[in-house]
Structure 1
Amino acid sequence: MFKKIIYSLCLLIGISIHSQSKGISFQKIDLEAAKAMAAKENKLIFIDLYTTWCGPCKLMAKNTFTDPRVGEVFNKNFINIAIDAEKEGVNLVKEFKIVNYPSFLFLDHTGKLVQYDFGYYNAEQFLGVGASVLGKVSVQNNKTLDQVKGKMVGDIISNFTAKDHLGKTFSLSGEKEKLIIVFIRGQWCPYCNKYIETLQNLSPELQSKNARLVIISPEKPEFIEKTINKTKTGYTVLYDEGYKIAEAFDVLYTPNTETLNFYNSRLKDDFTKSRSDNSGRLPVSATFILNENKEVVWRHFNPDYKERASVEDILKNL
């Protein structure tokens, strides 16, 4: 009898723990760690900014965050962290001018605000808030190949910074020369490697044209090393962490499922581990020429990765 009672208690405790785990899983990490995790896992960041004296904050924690449906959506799509606004959240309160609690910050992996909400929501309502956030990001970041158009002649490119494989920082605003911006898919792409080798023919002409060529890769520094070793290039190759440069030039797209499955099975770690997340997104292999004012004065944009800008056309338009 005693054994049965113990067994029943253990079963009830197990069920209780299991049910609690179905709600939102809040990570015990700071914002910087959340940003790194969000980039790696291709997720957004959800911050519950609360205070210990706030009644609606306690109700959210008790009723809404524990709902299994809310947990399923938020654990799948967000890195979730709860921050005390009067302790470790003081800087966030100042930055986002928070006056209401609870406040909910939805950020991308760079810390940029996607959506802000506050107040008490029941589970159904909060699922709607989550859907609104995910809908905004889906429109922004998950374009198909036929939806990306590339920046047009006359467009001004906003400043961006990125590091090369040696950790040296490149800043667009600091460049005084004309720039040739070349996007590649990665060191696993034979067409990219061959094209970089071809571009070496430009090198003797660039100084007289007051121009610099910069290659943009979605791959991490250790994989960029492979690009450099394979092509023997002397050009700067930048790691486009988080695809922010590809997004700025509107060349970022998500391949279809069939293509992604092929790359994942054929290329394995060269594809799955080379980039800042697991989304499979890639840049169109486009080339842009920017003048000294960071204005696009010429471009070659072809969704077919086998078609690249010729050396002759680049020189003609410098």
Structure 2
Amino acid sequence: MKLHLFITTFLFSCILYAKEDSTKKIEKFLQKNERVLVHVHADWCPSCKTQKKIISSLDKKSYKLLEVDFDNDKEFLKKNKIFQQSMLLSFINEKETGRVFGITKKEKIVGFIEKKLGNSLQAELDGRRAGSNIPDSARMTMEQATEELEKSGMIAKAKSKGDKFVDFTLPNINGENVKLSEKLKDGPVILTFYRGGWCPYCNIQLKAYQDHLGEFKAAGGQLIAVSPESSDSGSTTVDKNKIEYEILSDNLNKVARKYGLVFKLSEELKNVYLKFGLDLEKNQGNDSWELPVPATYVIDKNGEIVYSFLNVDYVQRAEPKDIVEALNSLK
């Protein structure tokens, strides 16, 4: 009886140790590698086998692959709230930046990897968020604000693909007025709304668009960026990112409002911004404490919006390659 109890206890301890050891190995792998694609698989799962075959054939220069066993690595799965096999997850600096379930088409798997772990704009933005050290209380306030915007349904009401553009005249950083309808006479316009030069994600986006400006022009597009920051603040943004395209100042978000993009910060979110040293009154020159959600449009010469990207999550931005594709579709 004692021998049986000893053996049972010993085996249980071995199993527990194996689980802990497995979890530690996974966590060490994530710590060691900046960008990781996690494939949660099971030997009995047909879609997992298809995924594994496709992933094994891909070039993995921009990331490392980590295979996680759905039947054995339970501690890691529980900790990360993973309840299904056939799951792909992206991790940057040990933090999850995306997940997708059950995709077995090569183009979709490649698309997920490129967006989350490749050299895409979104991968860079996700990496920036993963590397940020925002206090938990502030992060919760910001996430709650995003959830409330999602629930508000504002994106569904905003201007989007298929709608007609709204004309406007706004000053650039030199005080010169720029009229959208006049620009359209010269060809399609890429119109992007950003929050301000104080936003690290906006700066990453603006810099990426500058890097792709030649491609935009080659595809026939003219780039205009609009934000509620003052012309002086916009000038700083231009200098900081070495921007060569139009940056326009939309005082009190008058134009962004016509596109359905504006929201007012809650008092809780306002206090978070102030604690971070982000004073929108100083940046914008007014006390409205309003911002546009990030949005990018491609508008053809006839004034129709042929491409739109809108998201209440301020880290999500339109990919340059998608903008180029939209421009090329007009040829």
Question: Aligned-pair distance for 1:312?
Answer: 1.1
Is residue 311 of structure 2 the alignment partner of residue 292 of structure 1? no
Which residue of structure 2 aligns with residue 272 of structure 1? 281
Q: Aligned letter for 1:205? A: E
Q: Aligned letter for 1:206? A: F
Is residue 268 of structure 2 the alignment partner of residue 258 of structure 1? yes
Question: Aligned-pair distance for 1:272?
Answer: 2.1
**Distance in 2 between residues matched to 1:222 and 1:283, nearest whole Å:** 19
Structure 1 segments, 4+ long, off by >4 Å, are none
Residue ranges of structure 2 left out of the alignment (5+ in a row)? 1-147
**Distance in 1 between residues matched to 2:296 and 2:274, nearest whole Å:** 26
Question: Aligned-pair distance for 1:170?
Answer: 0.4
Contact 2:298 2:308 in 1 (8 A): yes
Counterparts of 1:181-200 in structure 2 under 5 Å?
Answer: 181-200=191-210
**Distance in 2 between residues matched to 1:202 and 1:173, nearest whole Å:** 24
TM-score, normalised relative to structure 2: 0.50
**Distance in 2 between residues matched to 1:208 and 1:272, nearest whole Å:** 38
Over 3 Å counting, the alpha-carbon distance change for 1:268 and 1:191 in structure 2 is closer
Q: Aligned letter for 1:250? A: G
State the secondary structure of the residue aligned to 1:207. helix
**Distance in 2 between residues matched to 1:293 and 1:211, nearest whole Å:** 14
Higher helix proportion (structure 1 or 2): 2
Which residue of structure 2 aligns with residue 23 of structure 1? none
Question: Aligned-pair distance for 1:254?
Answer: 1.1
Contact 1:162 1:170 in 2 (8 A): yes
Q: Aligned letter for 1:215? A: A
Aligned pair partner of 1:163 in 154, 171, 177: 171
Question: Aligned-pair distance for 1:249?
Answer: 1.2
**Distance in 1 between residues matched to 2:216 and 2:315, nearest whole Å:** 25
**Distance in 2 between residues matched to 1:248 and 1:202, nearest whole Å:** 28
State the secondary structure of the residue aligned to 1:294. coil
Q: Aligned letter for 2:204? A: K
Is residue 208 of structure 2 the alignment partner of residue 204 of structure 1? no
Contact 2:252 2:288 in 1 (8 A): no
- Count residues in correspondence: 174
Which residue of structure 2 aligns with residue 238 of structure 1? 248
Deviations 1:4-38 (CA, angstroms, capped at 9, x unpaired): xxxxxxxxxxxxxxxxxxxxxxxxxxxxxxxxxxx
Aligned pair partner of 1:317 in 308, 326, 330: 326
Question: Aligned-pair distance for 1:276?
Answer: 4.1
Q: CA RMSD in A?
A: 1.5
State the secondary structure of the residue aligned to 2:224. strand
State the secondary structure of the residue aligned to 2:171. strand
Residue ranges of structure 1 left out of the alignment (5+ in a row)? 1-143
Which residue of structure 2 aligns with residue 218 of structure 1? 228
Contact 1:218 1:276 in 2 (8 A): no
Question: Aligned-pair distance for 1:268?
Answer: 4.5
State the secondary structure of the residue aligned to 1:305. coil
Deviations 1:92-128 (CA, angstroms, capped at 9, x unpaired): xxxxxxxxxxxxxxxxxxxxxxxxxxxxxxxxxxxxx
Which residue of structure 2 aligns with residue 145 of structure 1? 149
Instruction: After superposing the two structures, state which structure 1 stretch, 198-207 or 175-184, moved more.
Output: 198-207
Question: Aligned-pair distance for 1:220?
Answer: 0.5
**Distance in 1 between residues matched to 2:216 and 2:321, nearest whole Å:** 13
Which residue of structure 2 aligns with residue 138 of structure 1? none
**Distance in 1 between residues matched to 2:310 and 2:190, nearest whole Å:** 13
Which residue of structure 1 aligns with residue 190 of structure 2? 180
Question: Aligned-pair distance for 1:167?
Answer: 0.6
Contact 1:154 1:295 in 2 (8 A): yes
Over 3 Å counting, the alpha-carbon distance change for 1:272 and 1:265 in structure 2 is farther
**Distance in 1 between residues matched to 2:301 and 2:278, nearest whole Å:** 40
**Distance in 2 between residues matched to 1:248 and 1:192, nearest whole Å:** 21
Contact 2:169 2:180 in 1 (8 A): yes
Aligned pair partner of 1:281 in 269, 278, 290: 290
